[in-house]
């Protein structure tokens, strides 16, 4: 079993969010799964140009490291998303990765995968940032098991508690994958999304042949 952890803080080793990620990966390892960190803040991922080539051919034509990251994500059983709170959102580095992934959404390529999210902030609300990351996982067809957030205003005890929760989240992610845990509410949302987006796929069948072929293969068309 392989778990990929995406980190996106430009602060590198000084990142508070990285402390949560490392604790989560300790939990993943303790549960017997393999883990790998991908630091998108260190990679050269350019902005999406909305060229739609990925919907036509299945491959983004921009020459950078995005396709390499996507390959890692698609080969993983589980994904840990992480980002500090930057202006009440994820970092620009992570948002760029999300923006480059319309094919992942259109084709629901995280179907069958599990994930959760981690964030830290100075003193502001952390739930919105967790919702952005878990929302992306859900929008791409995956299931999310929860999230952990901590503000620096909570002090050392708050961080200590968040580290402990992150460790348990890592262990639980592995167990969720092993038992193929069901989340009926999320699955209902996936079904409703596909029912709605099915009409968009049909309307663009000439322009999005790769998307159409994928939907036919999955039995959604």
Scanning the chain, the segments in alpha helix (DSSP H) are 16-30, 53-57, 66-75, 92-99, 102-106, 127-139, 155-178, 184-203, 209-218
What distances in angstroms separate CA 166 from CA 16, 63, 102, 184, 202, one per listed residue? 13, 35, 29, 24, 42
Q: What is the pLDDT of residue 152?
A: 85
Domain ranges for the chain, please list them: 2-181
Say how far apart CA 123 and CA 31 lie, in whole Å: 33
pLDDT tens digits for the chain (221 residues)?
999 999 999 998 899 999 999 999 999 999 999 999 999 999 999 999 999 999 999 999 999 999 999 999 999 999 999 999 998 899 999 999 999 999 999 999 999 999 999 999 987 788 999 999 999 999 999 999 999 999 988 889 989 999 999 999 999 999 999 999 999 999 999 999 999 999 999 999 999 999 999 999 999 99
pLDDT in the model for residue 153: 84
- 8 A C-beta contact, residue 40 and residue 26: no
**Cα dihedral 108→109→112→116 (10° resolution):** -90
Is 116 in contact with 25 (CB distance < 8 Å)?
Answer: no
Q: Is 141 left (phi over 0), alpha (psi -120 to 50) or beta?
A: left
Which pLDDT score is estimated for 100?
98
| Closest by CA position to 106, among listed 33, 54, 64, 147 | 54
Dihedral (C-alpha) 162, 164, 167, 172: value to the nearest 10 degrees? -90
Q: Do 220 and 194 form a contact (C-beta atoms < 8 A)?
A: yes
Work out the burial of residue 168: count CB atoms within 10 Å of its CB; fewer than 13 is exposed, 13-18 middle, 19 or more buried: middle
What pTM does this model have?
0.95
- Taken as a whole, the chain contains a residue count of 221
Q: Give CATH for domain 2-181.
A: 3.40.50.360
Separation of alpha carbons 71 and 40, rounded Å = 14
Instruction: Spell out the residues 6+ positions from residue 89 whose beta carbon is closer than 8 angstroms to its own.
Output: 95, 128, 129, 132
Identify whether the C-beta of residue 91 lies closer than 8 Å to the C-beta of residue 117.
no
């Amino acid at each position: 079993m392989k778990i990929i952890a995406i980190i996106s803080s430009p602060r590198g080793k000084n990142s508070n969010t990285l402390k949560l990620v490392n604790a989560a990966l300790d939990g993943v390892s303790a549960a017997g799964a393999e883990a790998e960190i991908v630091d998108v803040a260190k990679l050269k991922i350019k902005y999406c140009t909305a060229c739609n080539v990925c919907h036509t051919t299945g491959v983004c034509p921009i020459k950078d490291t995005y396709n390499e990251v996507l390959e890692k994500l698609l080969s993983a059983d589980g994904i840990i998303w992480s980002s500090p709170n930057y202006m009440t959102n994820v970092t620009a580095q992570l948002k760029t990765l999300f923006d480059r992934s319309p094919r992942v959404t259109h084709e629901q390529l995280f179907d069958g995968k599990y994930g959760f999210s981690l964030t830290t902030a100075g003193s502001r609300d952390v739930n919105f940032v967790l919702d952005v990351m878990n929302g992306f996982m859900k929008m791409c067809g995956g299931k999310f098991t929860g999230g952990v957030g901590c503000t620096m205003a909570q002090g050392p005890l708050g961080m200590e508690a968040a580290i402990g929760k992150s460790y348990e989240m890592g262990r639980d992610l592995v167990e969720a994958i092993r038992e193929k845990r069901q989340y009926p509410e999320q699955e209902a949302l996936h079904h409703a999304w596909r029912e709605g987006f099915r009409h968009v796929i049909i309307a663009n069948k000439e322009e999005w042949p790769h998307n159409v072929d994928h939907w036919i293969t999955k039995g959604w068309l």
